[in-house]
Structure 1
């Protein structure tokens, strides 16, 4: 059962992370030439995902902060919102990883318990038969070896898969951080443009 759960999580995470990385990479390329948040949102269109959430958060903060002259406060609040989105995305893509770690850590001990149980049965058989004949000992030893093998079959793939997806997830979160930086730069450009226009208007007056 543990092995089945491991491979189910493996396939599901493989599909999930592959799609997430591809979609985010495509979205970042689509907004690479955008000069403002509005242009970036138009470039994405109806595309959903973490980058769309970051851009929407930046636009929301810009609207709420309209009329405020301090860029630093706006950027700080936007950065706080971005951090929440990045943390939420990190939690989402790490779902199932804890179960893999648990299977990898506990399966050998389950196998060890089976090993001890099999050896105990062998000793019980010896005490009842009053002989160390192989026919008496073999069934218990076979149970012990089978339990050990089953524990390793569950544990080894779980550990390998966990380590693989830990690396892949780390790479994806770095990509999400890049997306957060892109949204922050677009917001900064919008603020500079807005305040620069206001200064020019006052100078003209």
Structure 2
């Protein structure tokens, strides 16, 4: 067997020790899972941004709030996060306004609490599994490093059975060990990039939600005068 064959990627993986193979398998599984959630969360966040823009355009077009509420309530499956926040606030507002002996401030506070609760649920749903991407990004390099250290230890341990150490004896073991680090970086880098991008996008969405809740509360307060 020549050195070139020993240093081919498939040969290195096939000839790796059991521990290094387990490390590589774990890292590949984490990489596949992270890519699944990268595409899944990317689609969900883009859809949330698009539906938020559509609802904002519909809300500020000057239509009646009651009619808008009926449309959102009748299409909850197709409504976006901001539409559901609006629905929760207007539903609570309508319920409290029909009760006697309630101050305007109590009605507005109740509507805000309903919107805040829905806002938190929607944001938690969008943030789900982002922690997994963060974990993959932070842990994968260390898991790969463990496989590298183990492989190098095996490579140097094998030198004890050889009278004269040459590059042909050392290179395959070290290269095999470094493959684990490469796979760890392959799993970590996309997860970190996706997590940072999605966290930024969610922060911007959260600001849009909070701004809408404040503006909508002001509109409801004017209706009580």
TM-score range, shorter chain: 0.7 to 0.9
Q: Alignment partner for residue 169 of structure 1, among 202, 205, 216?
A: 202
Map Cα deviations across residues 92-125 of structure 1 (whole Å, 9 max, x no partner). 1111100000000100101110110111111111
Contact 2:51 2:79 in 1 (8 A): no
The TM-score, its normalising length taken from structure 1, stands at 0.84
Q: Alignment partner for residue 160 of structure 2, among 127, 132, 135?
A: 127
Alignment RMSD (CA, Å): 2.0
Aligned to 1:53: 84
CA distance in 2, matches of 1:62, 1:51: 16
- Deviation for aligned residue 1:167: 0.7
Give SS of 2:164's match.
coil
Aligned to 1:5: 33
Contact 1:123 1:137 in 2 (8 A): yes
CA distance in 1, matches of 2:82, 2:180: 48
In the TM superposition, structure 1's runs of 4+ consecutive aligned residues that sit over 6 Å from their partners are none
Question: Which segments of 5 or more consecutive residues in structure 1 lack a partner in the other structure?
Answer: 193-205
Q: Alignment partner for residue 124 of structure 2, among 91, 95, 99?
A: 91
Matched, 1:141 2:170: no
Q: Alignment partner for residue 156 of structure 1, among 189, 194, 199?
A: 189
- Deviation for aligned residue 1:42: 5.1
Contact 2:48 2:81 in 1 (8 A): no
**Aligned residue pairs, count:** 192
The TM-score, its normalising length taken from structure 2, stands at 0.77
CA distance in 2, matches of 1:18, 1:142: 41
- Deviation for aligned residue 1:36: 5.2
